Each structure stands twice: as structure tokens, then as C-alpha cells.
Amino acid sequence: MTIVEKIDDTIIALENKKLSDLLPILCSLALDFSDAEGFCFFSFWGKPVFKDSNQKMNFDDIERSLIEIGIAKGEDRRKMLQISFEKYMSSRTINKDQVCMYTAKELEDVCDRYEDMINNCDTPQNLHPVDLYFRSQENETLKSQLIIQLADIERQYALLRSQMAEKLNCYPSPYISLI
């Protein structure tokens, strides 16, 4: 498969495939085009940024890949990681005082769980009328809160999808040089 076919297939797959499945392809394309910033950005989305509860950054694998593509100077690597991390953080949604730090896979899993919880909020109809009333009120309140939280997660996922499409459209096509 040529790079152009890979880009075209990935653009088409953005509509119906899970983004977590496409991140390795985007990282590979970024390396093919020596796009260190894009590689770092999508690598951050593909795995947890923090190693542990002490909030220690997890840049080791990404830094090794930067060395492999030729960004070997320590200052250049650190600067590239910093720039990419700042862009990554600016692409994350903030809700109240918390930054959404889910990976793409975690976003997909959370969406699935929220949808299951929303579907399970239906009140059983065989309750006593008084119980049915109070249970219905509780369930509707819970359902509303879940829908709001799901919408926040879906917005973050849509933002990632648009960033992927934007990056794919920025990669040069060999056809352009033929014209």
C-alpha cells in the first residue's frame, strides 16, 4: 500500500472506525513525513500521558522514536515534546477545574459505559404508583446528568476526529508535484 492509499483509507476510516484503531496509522504516517510534532501529538492521545499517581510524565517511548527519526539533540527533542504537549493539552476539554485526560481508547470505553448506564435508567413499570413516581424522578435526574457527561466526552472525541482529519489533509500528496 502506498502512502497516498494509506492516507485515503485513513480519511475514509475516520467516519466509521474507532479512532483508537487509527492512531497507530497516524503515528506511522507522521513518521513517514518526518512530522515529529504530529507523531508526538497522536502518541499522547494513544496512551496515558502520566505513568502513575505521582503525575510523572510518560515520554520515554515517544522520545526514543524521535531519536530514531533523527531529532537526536536533547534540546530539540525536549522542545518538540514541550510544543507537542502544549498543543495536546490545548486540544483537551476542561470541565470546571478538571482536564479530560482520557486516551482515545478510554474515551470510546467511557462512551460505551455511559450509553449502557443511560439505557439502564428506565424505570420498571411494575412498581407501586408512589414508588414509580419517585423512582421515575430519580432516574430522570440521573439520566439527565449522564447525558450531559456523555455529551462532554463526545465533544472531546469529535475534536480528536477533526484534528486527525486536519492533519491527514496537511500531508503532501505526490500528485501535487505531478501537476
Q: Please report, in tens digits, the pLDDT of each residue of the chain (179 residues total).
A: 788 888 888 988 999 999 999 999 999 898 888 888 888 899 989 887 765 555 566 677 788 888 887 766 777 788 888 888 888 888 887 777 777 788 899 999 999 999 998 888 766 666 666 665 556 777 788 888 999 989 989 999 999 999 999 999 988 765 444 43
The whole-angstrom separation of Cα 3 and Cα 179 is 18
The whole-angstrom separation of Cα 4 and Cα 23 is 17
DSSP state of 101: -
pTM above the 0.85 mark?
no
Q: How far, CA to CA in Å, does 132 sit from each of 37, 141, 142? A: 55, 14, 15
- Kindly list the domain boundaries of the chain, sorted by start residue: 1-179
Say which residues have a Cβ less than 8 Å from residue 4's Cβ, sequence separation at least 6: 173, 174, 175
The whole-angstrom separation of Cα 167 and Cα 45 is 14
Q: Using an 8 Å Cβ cutoff, are 22 and 45 in contact?
A: no
The whole-angstrom separation of Cα 15 and Cα 5 is 16
